[in-house]
A and B are shown apart, each in its own frame.
Chain A
Amino acid sequence: MQTSSGLSAVPGIASAGAPKGASRGLPEEANEGTKRLRALMVEDEPADVELVLRALQKAGFETTEDIAQTGEEFTDLVRKNLYDVILADYKLPNWNGMESVAVLRQEGLDIPVILVSGALGEQTAVECIKQGAADYVLKDHLARLPESVRRAMRERKLREDHRQAQEELARSNRDLEQFAYVASHDLQEPLRMVATYTQLLAERYQGKLDSDADKYIHYAVDGALRMQKLVQDLLAFSRVGRQGLALESTDSNAVLQVALQNLEAAIQESGAIVEHAQLPAVVADSSQLVQVFQNLIGNAIKFCGSEPPLIEVAVLEKGKEWIFSVADNGIGIAAEQVENVFVLFRRLHTRAEYSGNGIGLSICKKIIEQHGGRIWVESEPDHGSIFYFTIPIKAIPKQ
């Protein structure tokens, strides 16, 4: 509702304001001289409204204001109009200015609330700021108000920019995942034709053409099969992001055991010894955590030196997270490559030296980051590597 207390000759923006819903974006910055300001005042004292407007005008603001005296009026106005700032008295007959903060939160609106009030006492003032008021200006220090408004608007602009950047990033990540999924999914079909028919060619005509032909067919088969593996890996990678997390209380000892079972052939073959401490229960997606252990231990076995692999899984509780570690006695990683190991499809060795597409650690990183953790590696060439990852300690969800 709009009150014309005889003070606001300027029509409220209820009639002139921008249509709501189009964008809750920020009003454009006016020219340097005067600055237009759309304010919603929570105030029951006409004389105070006048003082506030005057203070703003002196500082170069051209203010259009609406006035709300009750919670209903306030809610109604913020739903209908766009405001740059809320200037709220703390004490009104029927409600207090701080409740406007709660209303804005409920409505999902980010409009700075500046309390313009008589003396509140430090305690109350601090409490108001804690609850989300942008600032607190005493009615007998109204000269401070313009700067407070400017700052609140600057901060809001920063928040808005930040939020937009975040949204943009999230959207582009989603697009990328969708692309990876579609590309890998649709690529599989024609690839299957190439792979099976070059294999059929090889089977039928091996030794019947000349040795060059045999070699060329072999290259074609090899390329097709490798591309198939890449596409499957890409699909697996994009699936980690798309499937979401099934978070549950998970015994990481059991998770490790599953990973070790899956790796049994490799462990047997390499003579690897895997030692592990007693591991905690964590809140995680257990099948994804299996993948992490499996990839890390699998790598430790694969990239072993001349000695049989010796792998140690340990855990440390630090602050609000568990730090897991998987240490090995393998070939290690050169310092300049330490960052690269987590990059998608990054391989540090030739195919002749070590097989693989360079997907495993990228998947680990994605899984751990989805869980709100971090993953990193400490290593020295020829002296093994220690991969660390963290899982935040959370309350175990009830069954």
Chain B
Amino acid sequence: MKTQPEILMVDDNPADIDLTSEVLAQSKAHFHVSAVNDGVEAISFLRRKGKYAQAPVPDLVVLDLNLPHIDGCEVLSSIKSDPALARIPVVIFTTSQADSDISRSYKLGANCYLRKPGNLPEFVAVVQSMAEFWLGFASLPQKEKR
């Protein structure tokens, strides 16, 4: 019954999307990664609006904070205040180390806050363990349950 886990990555830096996708592609589990570049797109994707009508429902959202148009915190609070989406784990994945960003994210219901590491070995380790944990070990509510 288990289908390929769906990951939605929201990041305006194509280099980070590529690198994350690369790392996930190399892991044993086969993830499917979709990526959007700003907050407005992210909301459309999640609500299956417009060109995203056929978009998959993600099992994990990997969200950068610093985004054009609508920033990551707004996307986060839209997800967590929408009963249809709130169950999806959201991992904040950003360069910010500011205490204010960390505490604000958790207040808004982020499931986890990770800083993007500055070198490859750490980056690989963080992305791999993130996917493994949230899509492997963690027990999460079922999709249709309300």
Chain A residues in the interface with B (C-beta under 8 A): 188-189, 191-193, 195-197, 199-200, 203, 225, 228
Question: From DSSP, what is the main secondary structure of chain B's interface residues?
Answer: helix
Complex-state Cα separation, A196 to B15, whole angstroms = 10
Q: Which of B28-36, B50-58, B70-78, B117-125 contacts A (4 or more CB under 8 A)?
A: B117-125
Known: A196-B118, A199-B120, A228-B118. 20 other contacts (CB 8 A): A188-B95, A188-B118, A191-B118, A192-B95, A192-B116, A192-B118, A193-B15, A195-B118, A195-B120, A196-B15, A196-B119, A196-B123, A197-B15, A197-B19, A199-B119, A200-B22, A200-B120, A203-B120, A225-B119, A228-B119
Give the chain B neighbours of A195 by CB distance below 8 A: 118-120
- Given A188-B95, A189-B95, A192-B95, A200 and B19 touching (CB < 8 A)? yes
Please count how many residues in chain B sit with their CB below 8 Å of the partner chain's CB atoms: 11
Shortest beta-carbon distance from A218 to chain B in Å = 14
Complex-state Cα separation, A228 to B120, whole angstroms = 13
CB atoms of B120 and A196 under 8 A apart: yes
Question: From DSSP, what is the main secondary structure of chain A's interface residues?
Answer: helix
Provide a sorted-by-A list of 23 A–B residue pairs whose CB atoms are within 8 angstroms.
A188-B95, A188-B118, A189-B95, A191-B118, A192-B95, A192-B116, A192-B118, A193-B15, A195-B119, A195-B120, A196-B15, A196-B118, A196-B119, A196-B123, A197-B19, A199-B119, A199-B120, A200-B19, A200-B120, A203-B120, A225-B119, A228-B118, A228-B119
Name the CB-closest residue of B to A202: B120
Complex-state Cα separation, A189 to B64, whole angstroms = 13
Give the chain A neighbours of B119 by CB distance below 8 A: 195-196, 199, 225, 228
Q: Which of B22, B116, B120 has the most CB of A within 10 A?
A: B120
Q: Using a CB-CB cutoff of 8 Å, which residues 1-22 of chain B contact chain A?
A: 13, 15, 19, 22
Give the chain B neighbours of A200 by CB distance below 8 A: 19, 22, 120
Q: Which of B118, B119, B120 has the most CB of A within 10 A?
A: B118
- Given A188-B118, A228-B118, A196 and B95 touching (CB < 8 A)? no
Shortest beta-carbon distance from B114 to chain A in Å = 14
Q: Which of A191, A196, A203 has the most CB of B within 10 A?
A: A196
Name the CB-closest residue of A to B116: A192
Name the CB-closest residue of A to B118: A192
Q: Using a CB-CB cutoff of 8 Å, which residues 103-146 of chain B contact chain A?
A: 116, 118-121, 123
Complex-state Cα separation, A195 to B15, whole angstroms = 12
Complex-state Cα separation, A200 to B22, whole angstroms = 10
Complex-state Cα separation, A63 to B116, whole angstroms = 70
Give the chain A neighbours of B116 by CB distance below 8 A: 192
